Amino acid sequence: QKECTGPQHCTNFCRKNKCTHGKCMNRKCKCFNCK
């Protein structure tokens, strides 16, 4: 998977968690919609 850069969002499963450096704060979360 590509590392996220810029605005990021987490999957609906962990919507409350924010993405940081291509990884969500919760390991179960995955980043998407990365630009």
Q: Which domains does the chain carry? A: 1-34 (3.30.30)
What pLDDT sits at residue 21? 60
Ramachandran area for residue 28 (φ above 0: left; ψ -120 to 50: alpha; else beta) = alpha
Yes or no: say if 33 and 2 are a contact pair by the CB < 8 Å rule: no
Per-residue confidence (pLDDT) for residue 35, from 0 to 100: 44
pLDDT (tens digit, 9 = 90+) per residue, 1-35?
A: 455 555 566 665 555 666 666 566 666 666 665 54
pLDDT number for residue 9: 61
Question: Alpha-carbon distance 28 to 6, whole Å?
Answer: 21
